[in-house]
Amino acid sequence: MTTIACNTNTNTMDPVDVVGGVDTHQDTHTAAAIDGTGRLLGHRTFMATGAGYRALLAWLRSWGTVEVVGVEGTGAYGAGLAEHLRTAGVDLVEVDRPDRKTRRSTGKSDPIDAEAAARAALGRVRTGVPKVRDGKVEALRNIRVARRSAVDQRADCQRRIKTLIVTAPDHLRAQLRGLPKRELLNTCAALRPDTEQIADPTQATKVALRALARRHAALTQEINELDALIEPLVAALNPALLALNGVGPDTAGQLLVTAGENTDRLHSEAAFAMLCGAAPIPASSGKTHRHRLNRGGDRQANAALYRIVLCRLRWDHRTQAYMTRRTTEGLSTKDIIRCLKRLVAREVFYALTTHATTPTTLTTAA
């Protein structure tokens, strides 16, 4: 723990209502304390360890009664501190990092960012309730991290195989070009290059194709194993969500992770749509009344909503009828899909908040 960065003496002041702000980093957290009127009391840097978390909270309490603490990055470097504060019964909010205009005018440093976090918590400006990260949704998120990595690597293997075929010698390219995906992968995995002639481009290409195809097969097996763990976990967490039309274990898992364990932090279906980047942004001025595309929010959740819409456009008669009606009204396909994503977000929100499974039920279902 470092020394106090300002010269205020905590022992000479009467206890006050304190609002804290924390700028989190991998090894250290910088905290700032302000009173109820926004006056800076002090700031100090602590180690990002269990002992550091306890010292940080004790330092904040040395100024008076801690009303609320704003933490930047509760889902990353601040996850441990957020859990410690929540366990200690401290009112906690997550704050966004200062916008560029504020940083240009005030500068950038850890104490400045910590003070900005405290002021945001005091005014409840651009704040939110952090996710609870000690439940089954957090377990689901961890498994999905591994699955997403495997899916990305598998897709990369397939792209590299096709790239190698493009530049392969003529007879090898003629053998592999035009084969269906599964047959191509099986053929490449069964290649038998002559490693004694590894300097020959043909043999080297065969070695590379075989290695990539076998890696693709290994990753496919890994994905299947992870899917076998994810599906029952999702079904236990929220069976109503999984029962929605067009929602499979993968999309349901992503939406559960986006919402978090404590779905009560989502105060409305409009807020959930904004969280998923599915709510259009007002862009009106004067006599012009319009909305623009929302490019913010959780893009993985937005992609999950998109996949649900595509499934419903293919199989659901009501969605197809909606598409036909809106097309006759002059909307483009992209605009209709955006409208459908907003409607699906509303349906998903009520499934998440109404049918959320309690920890006791989860234990029984598991």
Give the tens place of pLDDT for each residue, 219-246: 999 999 999 999 999 999 999 999 999 9
Predicted local confidence at residue 99, as pLDDT: 67
81 within 8 A of 56, measured Cβ to Cβ = yes
Per-residue confidence band for 24, with pLDDT thresholds at 50, 70 and 90? very high
Per-residue model confidence (pLDDT) at position 13: 57
What is the model's pLDDT at position 42?
94
The percent of residues in the chain predicted with pLDDT above 90, rounded, is: 72
Which CATH topology does 10-128 take? Nucleotidyltransferase; domain 5 (3.30.420)
**Closest to 281 in 3D by CA, of 349, 333, 342, 332:** 342
Q: Give residue 106's identity as a one-letter amino acid code.
A: T
Question: pLDDT at position 31, please?
Answer: 96
Between the alpha carbon of residue 232 and those of residues 82, 220, 242, the distances in Å are 29, 19, 10
- For 50-91, write each residue's pLDDT tens digit: 999 999 999 999 999 999 999 998 888 999 999 999 999 999
Q: Quote the CA–CA distance of 13 and 16 in Å, as a whole number.
A: 8
pLDDT above 60: residue 309: yes
Check: CB of residue 160 under 8 Å from CB of residue 154.
no
What are the two backbone dihedrals, phi and then psi, of residue 85, each rounded to the nearest 5 degrees? -65, -40
Q: What is the band of 34 on the pLDDT scale with cuts at 50, 70, 90? A: very high
DSSP 8-state assignment for residue 11: G
Mean pLDDT for the chain overall:
88
Which residues are within 8 A (CB) of 349 and not within 5 positions of it... i.e. 6 or more apart?
Answer: 266, 268, 269, 272, 273
Query: What is the Cα–Cα distance from 99 to 114, expressed in whole angstroms?
Result: 14
Domain ranges of the chain: 10-128, 136-237, 240-355
Does residue 265 register a pLDDT over 60? yes
Indicate if the pLDDT at residue 356 is higher than 80. no
Average pLDDT, stretch 115-132? 87
Flag whether pLDDT at 149 surpasses 80. Answer: yes
The answer on pLDDT for 357 being more than 70 is: no
Pairing type for strands 28-35 and 40-47 reads antiparallel
Q: What is the mean pLDDT of residues 22-36?
A: 94
Q: Collapse the DSSP code of 186 into the 3-class scheme (helix H, G, I; strand E, B; otherwise coil) and give the result.
A: helix
First to last CA, the chain: 43
Least confident of 262-266, 291-295, 318-322: 291-295
Question: Between 245 and 359, where is the model more confident?
Answer: 245
Copy the structure tokens of residue 267: 């105060």
Q: Which structure tokens are listed for 313?
A: 């456009």
161 with 173: CB under 8 angstroms? no
Residue 333 CB coordination number (10 Å): 11
13 vs 226, residue with greater confidence: 226
Instruction: Give how far Cα 218 sits from Cα of 59, 151, 214, Å.
Output: 51, 11, 6
pLDDT more than 70, % of the chain: 92
What is the pLDDT averaged over residues 143-160? Answer: 96
Show the beta-strand stretches assigned E in the chain.
Answer: 16-24, 28-35, 40-47, 64-72, 92-95, 127-128, 281-282, 291-292
**CA-to-CA distance for 239 and 208, rounded, in angstroms?**
44
